[in-house]
Amino acid sequence: MEDSSKPNASKITLADLAALNEEISSLIRAGVPLELGLREIGQDASEALRELTERLSERISAGASLVEALEAEGEGLPRVYRAVVQAGLRVGRLPEALESLTGLARAAEDLRQRIDLALLYPLIVLFLAYLLFISFLVFLVPELSETYAIFDLPVRGWLGLMRGMSATVSVWGPVLPGLAVAAIVWWAVRGRQAVMLEAGDAGPVANGGWLRWIPGLRNHVRANFAELLALLIEHGTPLPDALELAGATLGTAGLAADSGRVAERLRQGSSLKDGLSEAKRLPPLLRWMMIAGAQQGTLAGPLRHAAEVYRRRAVSEANWFRLVLPVAAVVIIVGGATLLPDPIPAFDGAVSPTDFGMREALDRQ
pLDDT value of position 76: 73
Following CA atoms 337, 339, 343, 344 in sequence, which dihedral angle do they give, to the nearest 10 degrees? 90
Q: What is the pLDDT of residues 76-117, one digit of tens each?
A: 777 777 777 877 887 777 888 888 777 777 777 777 777 777
CA-to-CA distance for 19 and 6, rounded, in angstroms?
A: 19
pLDDT of residue 267: 92
Predicted confidence at residue 246, as pLDDT, reads 82
| Greater pLDDT, 250 or 59 | 59
Nearest to residue 99, comparing CAs of 188, 2, 19, 187?
Answer: 19
pLDDT for 364 equals 52
Using DSSP, state whether 340 is helix, strand or coil: coil
The conformation of residue 87, written as its DSSP 8-state character, comes to H
Which residues sit opposite 13 in a β-bridge?
193
Burial classification of residue 314, based on how many CB atoms lie within 10 Å of its CB (0-12 exposed, 13-18 middle, 19 or more buried): buried
Sign of CA dihedral 216, 99, 266, 261: negative
Which residues 6+ apart lie within 8 Å of 16 measured at CB? Answer: 45, 46, 48, 49, 52, 194
pLDDT tier at 336, thresholds 50, 70, 90: low
Residue 294's alpha-carbon distances to 81, 135, 229, 240, 297, in angstroms, are 26, 61, 14, 14, 5
Helix, coil or strand: residue 77 = coil
Tell whether the model's pLDDT for residue 68 goes beyond 50: yes
Q: CA dist 164 to 45, 59, 140, 144, 345, Å?
A: 55, 64, 13, 13, 20
> Which range among 59-68, 150-159, 187-196, 347-356 has the greatest average pLDDT?
59-68
Render pLDDT for 195-232 as a digit per residue (tens, 0 to 9). Answer: 455 544 444 444 444 455 667 778 888 888 898 888 88
* 157 pLDDT higher than 80: no
In this predicted structure, what is the pLDDT of residue 348?
Answer: 46
- In which band, very low, low, confident or very high, does the pLDDT at 325 lie, cut at 50, 70 and 90? confident
CA pair distance 86, 274, nearest whole angstrom: 29
356 pLDDT higher than 60: no
**CB-side exposure of 169: number of CA atoms within 13 Å?**
17
What per-residue confidence (pLDDT) applies to 4? 42
CA–CA distance, 144 with 141 (Å, rounded to integer): 5
Q: How confident is the model at residue 3 (pLDDT cuts 50, 70, 90)?
A: very low
Round to whole Å and give the CA distance between 304 and 232.
Answer: 12
Q: What is the pLDDT of residue 8?
A: 45
Going by C-alpha positions, the residue among 222, 218, 224 that lies closest to residue 195 is 224
Q: Are 255 and 281 in contact (CB under 8 A)?
A: yes
pLDDT of amino acid 245: 82
Higher model confidence: residue 9 or residue 235?
A: 235
Strand pairing partners for 193?
13
Vertex 306 angle, CA 229 and 267, to 5°: 35
- The answer to pTM > 0.75 is no
What is the 3-state composition of the chain as percent helix, strand, coil, each rounded to the nearest 5? 80, 0, 20
What percentage of residues in the chain have a pLDDT greater than 90? 10
More confident residue, 258 or 252: 258
> Is pLDDT larger for residue 357 or for residue 335?
335
What is the Cβ-side half-sphere exposure of residue 103, based on CA atoms within 13 angstroms? 14
Cβ count near 282 (within 10 Å): 23
Q: Dihedral sign, CA of 288, 292, 298, 304?
A: negative
CB atoms within 10 A of CB 63: 8
The one-letter code for the residue type at 146 is E
Per-residue model confidence as pLDDT tens digits over 262-314:
999 999 999 999 999 888 888 899 999 999 998 888 899 999 999 999 989 98
Q: What is the pLDDT of residue 67?
A: 84
Spatial distance between the Cα atoms of 286 and 273, rounded to a whole number of angstroms: 12
Answer yes or no: are the C-beta atoms of 199 and 293 closer than 8 Å.
Answer: no
Dist. CA 261–CA 353, nearest whole Å: 79
Tell me: pLDDT of 259 over 70: yes
The Cα–Cα gap between 42 and 285 comes to 43
Per domain, the residue ranges of the chain are: 2-77, 107-365
Highest mean pLDDT, choosing among 12-16, 122-126, 164-168 = 164-168
User: Who has greater pLDDT, 84 or 178?
Assistant: 178
Residue 303: what pLDDT?
A: 93
